[in-house]
A and B are shown apart, each in its own frame.
Chain A
Amino acid sequence: MQKITRDVLVEKAVSLLENGTVANVLGWRKGEFDYDITPAVFTDKADIEANFVWNDFCGANFSKYLVQKTRKLEGKILVFLKPCDTYSFNQLLTEHRFDREKVYAVGVSCEGMVDIDKIKAIAGDGISKIVCGEMIEVSTVYSDEVIKIDAKDVLEGRCESCKSKKHVAYDELLGEEGDVIDSNRFDEVAKLEAMTPDERFAFWQEQLSKCIRCNACRDICPACTCENCVFNNPNSGVENKAAANSFEEKMFHIIRAFHVAGRCTDCGECSRVCPQNIPLHLLNRKFIKDMDSFYGEYQAGAEVGSRAPLVNYTTEDVEPCDVFEGGNE
């Protein structure tokens, strides 16, 4: 389904490596099946030509890897960024988390990524082959028939409500530049807001009780780049390796949501990686929606150096409690 082909990216990567612009390429490495790519650093032309992948399963956002890789790797790093990834990229720069000089950023246009779980819900288990395209062709070990699925029907949740096809950061762009989209991303939040407090509590209780505290959501999150998270730090007083009860289940997520409020770009990585399918992005989106309504529209990562509403006090700021009558009915 991606308009821009893999070959264009491969050619770009190889030429930038060969002309010495970069020494490393951060890209998607071919997996065992056709859908399980792994983020990887490539340094070698033959490796890129054989194993670099760009297709509808390249959801992984590389921005956060730059924090670690710019410190560790020798030489400049080429990073490929989808539109949503560029917001994370800018936000990390705003927070001075990596050295921009060490990175060569290539924006790649994106038509949306697909969700293997949704494909499996239609095609079943036992997948032997997947060919990407407008119609995704799926083969399984259970039948000779090739199952055709419209890629639009199996988009990742975050791509169904993609907020922007525009790249807000790059040195070079592959494919066409898009626009910020009038997305439906707050519809789900509105649904939650329409619930009674009891219903909403029950919703989150059910969702968060599934959490196994694997920390994948935090570890993938480009806004979570603390060197030592309070939840890991025995000296913080709130160290918490596993949730012992429903209070602790919620505490981790609520604290994390507050901590990334104003910095979360809504990239959707948290919900994408959660092994328990918890819609974590809804917590963050609720914050984004509220901040928009209290302090005016603000998109984290839209530009480098902007001040997030929660760290930008003005005397005109509203008191949230005057706007919303929160809490108990």
Chain B
Amino acid sequence: MFKCSMESLNSVFAKISANAELYIPADNCDGKAVYTKWAEGVELSNQLNTVKSPKDFFFPQVEDMMAFKVEGKNIELIDIRKAQEDFVVFGVRACDVKAFEVLDNVFLVDPVDSYYAERREHGIIISVACGRPSETCFCQTFGIDAANPGGDITVWYADGNAYWQSNTEKGEKLLASLGLESCDSAAVDAEKAKIANIMKKLPLAELKADAFGGGKTMELFNRPEWKALSESCLGCGTCTFVCPTCQCYDVKEFNTGKGVVRFRCWDSCMYSDFTKCAHGNPRLSQVERFRQRFMHKLVYYPENNNGLFGCVGCGRCLAKCPISMNIVKVMKTLGGNA
């Protein structure tokens, strides 16, 4: 384990960014944390987490995939990707680190999504343990440990220092290049105990996911409560767009006047044109669309991924839904542990 003082964190950032682009959570014009490219003067945010998740680095909201040039009967396919450079994301919380596993199971299985894979290969994740979780946090429901967030390197803040530990080969290489002072783990052990204690006090500490998981489709699909739960859902995409694990996208073509560009952008199961086919949207009303989002996270995803839930309890949809309807309310209503 290594350490540096909180005051010297900035010089560590400078060192990291000498070799790769570094992104850290920094406050924007509204005082909300957003991942910002580090440069001298960019200050680390004190907020627990960013409004948008770090998913965006690997699976951006909009991305051009390829271009077509049409000449006569010839269609030329052009790979418009630029070579992916190494980059480092600092300050990722345990929930969001786990979310990468959820995304990997989708994008890195055959057929591998090479766009996503390239970024995963070149990205280094430095996680930070959560000293001050929010009431909206429920990562522990899914067995995620906010005190041991993982990633390539883990950082703990304790008594004025930042403690660093590498978890992967990539992380080890980066950490070794930073020239930090080595130390024992006493301060980190104390911090972990402190976090564990706080986690127990959170209002959602007792929330259980036992009623959900693979094999529960028939039990939950036709529950009458879906109607009231979805009653005032606006069908906006806020919950899906702030979610670190939502993974659906739409692929479209755009006529540039000189050719065609194929792009993809995030889609939302809450939308009326989601998975639209010749006959329309198979989910006729907002009740079915709403149900899809939560069944996907809590039943279909774990069914297809060895029990891993598709929600990591980050709490973003709790904080941001315009009508304050969210996965916790769904779980409590259907799971009977209100």
Contacts and interface: CB of A to CB of B under 8 A. Distances in A.
Interface of A: 31-33, 36-41, 60, 65, 121, 124-128, 141-142, 206-207, 210, 212-216, 218-220, 228, 232, 234, 241-244, 272-273, 275-277
Interface in B299-338: 318, 320, 322-326, 328-329, 332
Given A32-B318, A220-B322, A40 B135 contact: no
A215 B236 contact: yes
B134 interface: yes
B31 A242 contact: no
A241 B268 CA distance: 10
Contact of B135 (A125, A213, A242): A125
Contacts of A38: 232, 323-325, 329
Nearest to B276: A234
Nearest to B268: A214
B36 to A, nearest CB: 12
> 3 tightest CB-CB pairs across the interface, nearest first?
A273-B322, A36-B324, A242-B265
Given A38-B329, A126-B135, A141-B202, A216 B322 contact: yes
Contact of A219 (B51, B236, B325, B328): B236
A124 B135 CA distance: 10
B61 interface: yes
Nearest to B322: A273
A125 B48 contact: yes
B133 interface: yes
B133 A126 contact: yes
B113 interface: no
B242 interface: yes
15 contacts: A32-B332, A33-B135, A39-B232, A40-B228, A40-B231, A125-B134, A126-B134, A128-B201, A128-B203, A141-B202, A206-B29, A210-B28, A213-B237, A244-B265, A276-B30
A246 to B, nearest CB: 12
A244 B30 contact: no
Contacts of B198: 126, 141-142
B132 A142 contact: yes
A121 B46 CA distance: 11
A32 B332 CA distance: 9
B108 interface: no
B250 interface: yes
Interface string B210-238: 00000000000000000010011011111
A137 to B, nearest CB: 16
A219 B234 contact: yes
B324 A31 contact: yes
A242 B318 contact: no
Most B Cβ at <10 Å: residue of A33, A36, A243? A36
Contact of A275 (B202, B228, B242, B324): B242
Given A38-B324, A242-B62, A244-B62, A216 B238 contact: yes
Contacts of A228: 272
A241 B325 contact: no
A41 B201 contact: no
Given A40-B228, A141-B201, A241-B265, A212 B61 contact: yes
B263 interface: yes
Contacts of B237: 213-216
Contacts of B204: 32
Contacts of A65: 232
Given A142-B132, A214-B237, A242-B62, 18 more contacts: A31-B324, A32-B326, A32-B328, A38-B329, A39-B232, A40-B228, A125-B135, A126-B133, A141-B201, A210-B34, A214-B240, A215-B237, A219-B235, A220-B234, A220-B236, A234-B273, A241-B265, A242-B266
A275 B62 contact: no
Contacts of A273: 238, 322
B90 interface: no
A316 to B, nearest CB: 41
A232 B234 contact: no
Interface in B252-266: 252, 263, 265-266
B241 interface: yes
A164 B250 CA distance: 44
Contacts of B202: 126, 141
Contacts of A277: 30, 32
A234 B320 CA distance: 28
B184 to A, nearest CB: 28
A67 B132 CA distance: 43
Nearest to B29: A206
B173 interface: no
B96 interface: no
A226 B250 CA distance: 23
Contacts of A121: 31
